[in-house]
Amino acid sequence: MATKEDMLARIRRALGRAEGNAPEPLPAYVDACSPARDGDLVELFCKQSRALGAQVARVRSADEIKEYIAGLAAEGEQTKLALSDGELTRWSGLGEYFSAQGIDVLHTLGEYAEGRGHAGDLMESYKRELVKVNIGVTSADYAIAETGTLVLVSGGEQHRLFSLVPPVHVCLLEETRIIESLPVFLALAGQKYYSTESAPLATTFITGPSRTADIELSLTLGVHGPRELHTLLIGSR
């Protein structure tokens, strides 16, 4: 078994260099042109999302969000909803609304664990519930106009399972959170999330529904992740 020191020493020998101080970082890279620079970010985000097979709807109130999701729920026979614990999902009041209608609502693992203690098979029983869910609802922390990408940062809410396992993913997004490009987001994230001691466990970039072209290059949606992605754009609250 090799140790780190071992490995690093061999690398130094291979490179012919002495143990060194921090290298001079590359100068910052500035995007020379970005289609998002002068345009309307919201327009561009909608256009790019739709081009990839995602649906985008602009909503003005919590009621409109409820209405939209109720519409989706009406399409299926037995709806089971998964609701993340983000600030936007709580504000929208979806949990109370759908529970009152007798629709089965699964909450995040964190909320599910409360009262059940931290039993070893917590995840096992949770997984059994999770696979029955048809619609997962989360919110996005940011979005990238240039590519129609949603950015979900863990910490604020548990987004990983609900945006992945159910066949339909509904994502709430405030218009003001749309920024022009990935480099602009990463510069921001470097400051806001990754310069702290506790970096987010997972930052997930979602661009359209899950896709594959592995059989005869034929594009097929929903291979492992959601077949449908609905972004609900919230203008103002």
- What is the footprint of other proteins within residues 70-99 (CB under 8 A)? none
3 binds other proteins (CB under 8 A): yes
CB contact at 8 A, 164 and 220: no
Out of 42, 62, 103, 164, the only residue in the binding site for other proteins (CB under 8 A) is 164
Q: In Å, how far from its chain's centre is CA 109? A: 16
Stretch that binds other proteins, among 64-72, 73-81, 133-141, 203-211 (CB under 8 A): 203-211
The Cα 145–Cα 45 span in angstroms is: 4
Q: Which two tokens stand for residue 131?
A: 């696979």
Out of 71, 93, 110, 235, the only residue in the binding site for other proteins (CB under 8 A) is 110
Name which of 92 and 108 has its Cβ closer to other proteins.
108
For the bound state, the minimum distance from the C-beta of residue 62 to other proteins, rounded and expressed in Å, comes to: 26
CB contact at 8 A, 204 and 163: yes
CB contact at 8 A, 167 and 226: yes
The Cα 161–Cα 83 span in angstroms is: 11
Compose the 15-54 pattern: x for residues touching other proteins by CB under 8 A, - for all others.
Answer: x-x-xx-xx-xx-xx-xxx--------------x---x--
Q: Which of 221, 208, 211, 107 is nearest to 161 (CA)?
A: 107
Stretch that binds other proteins, among 71-79, 92-100, 172-180, 222-230 (CB under 8 A): 222-230
Name which of 4 and 78 has its Cβ closer to other proteins.
4
Out of 105, 206, 232, 234, the only residue in the binding site for other proteins (CB under 8 A) is 206
CB contact at 8 A, 88 and 139: yes
Residue 209 has what DSSP assignment? Answer: S
For the bound state, the minimum distance from the C-beta of residue 232 to other proteins, rounded and expressed in Å, comes to: 19
For the bound state, the minimum distance from the C-beta of residue 108 to other proteins, rounded and expressed in Å, comes to: 8
